Chain A
């Protein structure tokens, strides 16, 4: 405790940590290299697969940063005291949203080439009508929303809103380090409400646009919430991971303690594991019970061939096992177990994205009479979990995200050192 209190008197100034900066730059360079390698490897795999792999890698990075943005916003919303020492790593992570819009450029290129339908079937209804006339007929009725110009406008709105929100919280917090003005805290608290509304709307519609509309016939109002819960699972894990990474370099020792990790763990447990499972099940049960063909096909695509294994792995890996593992107090407080838990959640968040983005709904489902017939016909459906293109893209984007966060951390300083609630956070204990 005495050690922690001393930290308030002589806070670490903007960290001159060369080790951290070098590490961050290396991660960013290697990340870029991975993206290039992924593009090179995937070039011959067809545009559809290349773009889906890119989409997943990019959304992996986006969801981690969105989770962090939500974390910051909610801390300001409730004026939390405990979280001040872990807020800077979260801000560094959310700050990635200021450049992550670059990952959308390939989609803009596709749009300019008029080939957006390699990914989104609704983008070219004439072509779709040749493949599946009935589907094209239904989707044509959705074209007031699902049309290319509006899609691009909406994407621009989401990306702008996220970049601006991230910029608002990150820059105000960083500026407070120097001027110590308490109005900045009040201003961030005041705008956190509208920010949360904007966040909720943009993430929901982004999930509809970028993931749900990959299968435009299918719809679920729960989907946006599912995506948000997934963001929390990835984002909160990465915040904890970043804190540990910084502490490994010898910084913030005695500042971020087991108490803060335990609370991060509680949030991860609540939002990323239990809430995720609650929403995932709610979505599944209604569709399973209603048993309407245009809804059940989405789940059918995830229960054929290898996707069946992925679905079961997700049930156990994203809910049951981490639930049993992280429910205990000591697993969240002891570094080794908590590190294992957050890395596990990060991996399964990625599996979750694969499950959402990669499966393809077969067009000929209507010709089968029973579930078992579909199972037999598609027994060898391939799930690209270990596909090198997918893995290199995802890993590249992960490195870029972590590297971007670390380099931002070294630039802005590791601690919100003039935050009015810093002392409260340093003293924080769970009871």
Chain B
């Protein structure tokens, strides 16, 4: 089973999603990933049955900017929480339509209308809520998710990515992708099998 389908032209000409290279152990995958990284490919990924520590560095994956975005989401929650309460409890303003809008200024147990301690629980909750929703939502967004389907999932060989095989996939949209040259390159990295994945 070490034949390469990529070298034989497919019966019907279909677009190629990318090249799939199979490895049998994490160490060889790691070394191959370092070479792919150094070759300057950008649209590629590794698929392993379990988390391989150090693979991020081997692939040259940058740290995510997600934390900064989540911090922003949290600050948004803080501001909304404060503005919402400060406005509804204790202030009024003229909207763009020149309508004078007033909130509900209730006097509760003699406290000032604008009393921060009473607002803090809501501010806190909104901060947590927007941070949490922002973390999940922005994570999906940054990953380009959700996808209804992915070309790799139609590939029989790729099924073993959840079992005992390790894969590198270089996508055809990568500017350095040339089918024959990339295939030779992947083989030279010690891939047991290299095959084309149909789009």
Give A residues with C-beta under 8 Å from B: 281, 284-285, 288-289, 291, 327-329, 429, 431
Contacts and interface: CB of A to CB of B under 8 A. Distances in A.
B71 A285 contact: no
21 contacts: A281-B117, A281-B120, A284-B117, A285-B117, A285-B118, A285-B120, A285-B121, A288-B117, A289-B109, A289-B111, A289-B117, A289-B118, A291-B109, A291-B110, A327-B71, A328-B67, A329-B67, A429-B53, A431-B51, A431-B53, A431-B56
A252 to B, nearest CB: 22
Contacts of A429: 53
Contacts of B110: 291
Contacts of A327: 71
Nearest to A286: B117
A288 B109 CA distance: 11
Given A285-B120, A289-B118, 8 more contacts: A281-B120, A288-B117, A289-B109, A289-B111, A289-B117, A328-B67, A431-B51, A431-B53
Interface string B151-190: 0000000000000000000000000000000000000000
Interface in B13-67: 51, 53, 56, 67
A431 B61 CA distance: 12
B165 to A, nearest CB: 23
B48 to A, nearest CB: 14
Contacts of B51: 431
The 10 closest A-B pairs by CB, nearest first: A285-B117, A288-B117, A281-B120, A291-B109, A429-B53, A284-B117, A285-B120, A289-B118, A329-B67, A327-B71
Contacts of A329: 67
Nearest to A429: B53
Interface in B87-133: 109-111, 117-118, 120-121
Nearest to B121: A285
Nearest to B67: A329
Contacts of A291: 109-110
B57 to A, nearest CB: 10
Interface-central residue, A284, A289, A291, by most chain B CB under 10 Å: A289
Contacts of B118: 285, 289
Nearest to B51: A431
B89 to A, nearest CB: 15
Nearest to A328: B67
A327 B120 CA distance: 20
Nearest to B118: A289
Nearest to A1: B54
A329 B63 CA distance: 11
A315 to B, nearest CB: 11
A188 to B, nearest CB: 28
B85 to A, nearest CB: 14
A285 B118 CA distance: 7
